[in-house]
Structure 1
Amino acid sequence: MSLKQRINDDMKAAMRAKEADRLGTIRMLLAAMKQKEVDERVELDDTMVVAIVDKLIKQRKDAAQQYEAAARADLADKEKAEITVLEAYLPQRLSADEIAAAIQAIVTELGASGPGDMGKVMGAAKQRLAGQADMGQVSAAVKAALAG
């Protein structure tokens, strides 16, 4: 079953179970997916859906940080609950050691050295690790690999 179909099935299950918060989050995800399909006139595959989920999680994390800075714990908690629902649609994430090893392999393969090659390494890393790792962690690993 495709990830897109699983999300649709989860929406129906949330409707039946009357889980309003979960249903709202899934509907927001489906709306983002539909928007991407309409804007780009494409049929989304699992990789594209994972990229959308990643983007939405990043937005929720940023919003939660801003709400916490403004002492609005109620809104921050809502954002964190949405993150929990969205994370169910991501594949298993790589550990920090696995990310570092993958980045080291990319650096060696590209012959990159020094901070000037960061863009080249990040481009390759985004292609290979999309959906498998948080890009913030990947960026930190690339900086560490190119600095040493």
Structure 2
Amino acid sequence: MFARTVCRTPVLASFRSRPHQIPSIRQYAVAANEDVRAKLMEGLKTAMKAKDASKSTIIRSMLSEVYDADKKKQEKIDTPAIQALVQKAVSRRKDAAKQYESGSRPDLASQELAEASILSAYLPPLLSTSEVDRILQEVISENDIKLENPAQVNMVVGKVFRAFYARVDKTSVDSAYVRRKAEELVKGQ
């Protein structure tokens, strides 16, 4: 009995002398740059509390993709990378819905579109088409981009893309619309 008390005393004394180590045991605080990750976790909690199995499964699959990317990079990925992962998941589901519709399976297509709408709630809102048009016009005029040779359309559009995406995050715009509008503006000069 006396031996146990003697053995425990140094352990407790060591904790008292190093109180700064106790809080470091649990580091689950959400950093400022992990708002999408936090939103996904909060969405999972609410779906589980509401016993919504389909929504919780979708969010779990998205979180598993995020955790897989964390492991590949060997550190937590930042918010733009998570947004890109969510955007890819949404586009995969929309493509699957198109394939199901072409295969005469509207039930599966509607399920994929519902999953895409659930995941798109975790993305920031897209820029409006008028905002994209304005930024493209500014990029072309500021960088003095002109089409001198009609055979070099792709090269000139590439310059417009580089300048445009230097200003705007890729996840905040519809890239197909940006491509169409950039080609239209370059050819219209």
TM-score (norm. length: structure 1): 0.90
Return closer, same or farther for 1:18/1:48 CA change in 2, 3 Å cut-off. same
Q: Deviations over 1:41-95 (max 9, x none)?
A: 2322222211111111111111111111111111111110011101111112111
Residue 121 of structure 1 and its aligned partner are, at CA, apart by 2.1
RCO (CA 8 Å, sep 6+): is it higher in 1 or 2?
Answer: 1
The equivalent residue for 1:15 is 48
1:125 is aligned, of 158, 164, 169, to 164
Residue identity opposite 1:135 in structure 2: S
Decide which moves more: 44-53 or 68-77: 44-53
Q: Percent identity?
A: 30
Greater C-alpha radius of gyration: 2
- Retained in 2: the 8 A contact 1:60–1:80? yes
Counterpart Cα distance in 1 of 2:94 and 2:163: 25
- Name the Cα RMSD after superposition: 1.6
In the other structure, the counterpart of 1:142 is 182
Residues 1:136 and 1:108: Cα distance change in structure 2 (over 3 Å): same
Q: How many residues align?
A: 148
Residue 68 (structure 1) aligned with residue 101 (structure 2): yes
1:93-108 mapped onto 2 (5 Å cutoff): 93-108=126-141
- Give, in whole Å, the separation in 1 of the partners of 2:142 and 2:181: 16
Between 129-138 and 69-78, the greater mean CA deviation after superposition: 129-138
Partners of 1:42 and 1:143 lie apart in 2 by: 38
* Aligned residue identity for 1:144: E
One-letter amino acid matched to 1:22: K
- Residue 18 of structure 1 aligns to a residue whose secondary structure is coil
| Aligned twin of 1:54 | 87
Q: What is the CA–CA distance in structure 2 between the aligned matches of 1:141 and 1:61, rounded to whole Å? A: 22
Q: Which amino acid aligns with 1:139?
A: R
Q: Distance in 2 between matches of 1:43 and 1:106?
A: 33
Flag structure 1 segments of 5+ consecutive residues without an equivalent.
none
